[in-house]
Chains A and B, each alone.
Chain A
Amino acid sequence: MKKSYASEVVFLSTPEQISQLLHLDEKKPEPWREEELRDMVRHQMSASLEFDLSSVHVNEPESKIISKSFIFAAQSEMRTFDDLFRNPNPPVELLRLSQRFFKQKVKESPKDSAEHKCSYLFYLLSIVVARIRCNINICRLTDEEQLHAINSMMKRFWVVDDRIRELLGDCQKRISKL
């Protein structure tokens, strides 16, 4: 008979090991390593728009507009966040939805956790893409605040993706010229 995981390991455990498990805290962030944050960013870029964004709570009038945006996106082969951000004509409603989704994730995640950092980057990217592709400012941050945020992200060791750095760089130049 196959042993369960518990019977295999628990009865050989030390007080230190048991203590770690008893003090498990669902609010404590996972200690993701540096290279894992890069993997997380890469994963988020390739994540399905519909999978993540369909979880955002919207009211009835919004839902009709967003449904149409999803249909347009699918027809234009915009299925992932990477597709959305690189498209020359992204639906601004999806960018707004993306901004809301990641803003919520930032609020929910423990500060300084990998989830928090990754979500903030994509929150910023949603704003950046709306500015450079649609020429629309979809947030209340001032130009100075947006520039500060972009400059800060460009310095992060885990923001290595060329596509992301190009988007941030373009927006940086655009705002600086104003």
Chain B
Amino acid sequence: MPRFKNIPSQAVRVPPNASAVSDVSLWPITVWSDVSVAGREVGKDAERLNALILNYQKPLRIFLLGQFRAFPEITKNADELLQGFATDKILSEGWLKKANRQKGRFRNFLRTSLKNYVLDWSKKARLPTIPLGELEDQGIEPVAPETPSNDFDLSWTQSVLAETLEKMENDCKAPSRDQPRRSQIWELFRLRLLDPIFKQTKPVPYGKLVEGLGLKSPSEGTNMLLTAKRMFKRHLNDTIAEYEGSEKAAESELVALAERISQLAEQA
């Protein structure tokens, strides 16, 4: 872990530019190959843990950058910190068992664990800790508690959805599948549901769908769209179950995510 240079006693004020915090393209993506090596040593959960790290690195980075935006010595070491968190915590034996579902959501456990890891690290690195009162006296606004949480929850849900849609698309397009119409299921889902939601396009008209996808009858179109929705739901549940650990926990987490996102939508 890099040693810190002495920093001025007054914390540097980070410009309150939210886009700089959320814009992950400003930050290099961590190379996780050595994380994978460490993960393999853990045992049977390594693959699942590795997938978890890869899929959710984005929201974790967003959280870290948001939570500690007033501390550039932390934010400039974000990648190393995340990598260290992965190897020292996530991939350490027994860490997953500490996630107590009675006490709250897994993603919140992950977030709290990362925060504590960074705080421990900053103590060891002897970063000055500045009480909130002093920050205010110096005219430095502390990070609003809601902002990192909002960014994290949104990014986390985006990661879940991205993983879900990738799985669904790959499932539909897998050449090993027997059903010849399976790739059309993805196309119908994309044209009729996804593009209108994410790209603000008008849904492709029924007549054009018939022509483009070679639908043999209205019932075929209806069945394909229904199949698409069911596939989406199944992959969504599976994706969440990968980090929640069980189907039942996944159902509860899905409800919680949907409620949280609805709240964020209302606030916007």
The answer to whether A4 and B264 touch (CB under 8 A), given A18-B157, A26-B230, is no
Chain A residues in 8 Å Cβ range of B230: 26
Encoded as 1 (CB less than 8 Å from any B CB) or 0, chain A from 1 to 35 comes to: 00011110111111111111111111000101101
In the assembled complex, A40 has its CB within 8 A of some CB on chain B: yes
B-binding segment of A41-49, A57-65, A123-131, A134-142: A41-49
In the assembled complex, A93 has its CB within 8 A of some CB on chain B: no
The answer to whether A7 and B161 touch (CB under 8 A), given A15-B264, A16-B265, A30-B225, is no
In the assembled complex, B52 has its CB within 8 A of some CB on chain A: no
In the assembled complex, A161 has its CB within 8 A of some CB on chain B: no
Chain B residues in 8 Å Cβ range of A18: 154, 157-158, 161, 261, 265
Question: B205 is contacted by which of A4, A12, A23, A39 (Cβ under 8 Å)?
Answer: A39
A-binding segment of B7-15, B109-117, B192-200: B192-200
Q: Which residue of A lies closest to B157 (CB)?
A: A18
Q: B217 and A52: CB pair below 8 A?
A: yes
Question: B232 is contacted by which of A4, A17, A24, A43 (Cβ under 8 Å)?
Answer: A24
The answer to whether A5 and B194 touch (CB under 8 A), given A10-B158, A24-B233, is yes
Interface of A is mostly: helix
Q: Which residue of A lies closest to B195 (CB)?
A: A9
In the assembled complex, B220 has its CB within 8 A of some CB on chain A: yes
Q: B258 and A23: CB pair below 8 A?
A: yes
Q: Which residue of B lies closest to A33 (CB)?
A: B205
Q: Which residue of B lies closest to A122 (CB)?
A: B218
Q: Which of B205-246 contact A (CB under 8 A)?
A: 205-207, 210, 215-220, 222, 225-226, 229-230, 232-233
Q: List 19 A-B contacts (CB under 8 A).
A: A4-B165, A4-B169, A6-B165, A6-B169, A7-B166, A10-B198, A15-B268, A18-B157, A18-B161, A19-B258, A22-B157, A32-B206, A33-B205, A39-B207, A39-B210, A47-B216, A48-B216, A51-B216, A51-B217
Residues of B with Cβ closer than 8 Å to A? 58, 154, 157-158, 161-166, 169, 190, 192-194, 197-199, 205-207, 210, 215-220, 222, 225-226, 229-230, 232-233, 254, 257-258, 261-262, 264-265, 267-268
Apart from A13-B198, A15-B262, 14 more pairs, CB < 8 Å: A7-B166, A10-B161, A11-B162, A15-B261, A16-B268, A18-B161, A21-B193, A39-B205, A39-B210, A44-B218, A48-B216, A51-B220, A105-B219, A109-B222
Residues of A with Cβ closer than 8 Å to B? 4-7, 9-26, 30, 32-33, 35-36, 39-40, 43-44, 47-48, 51-52, 55, 105, 109, 115, 118
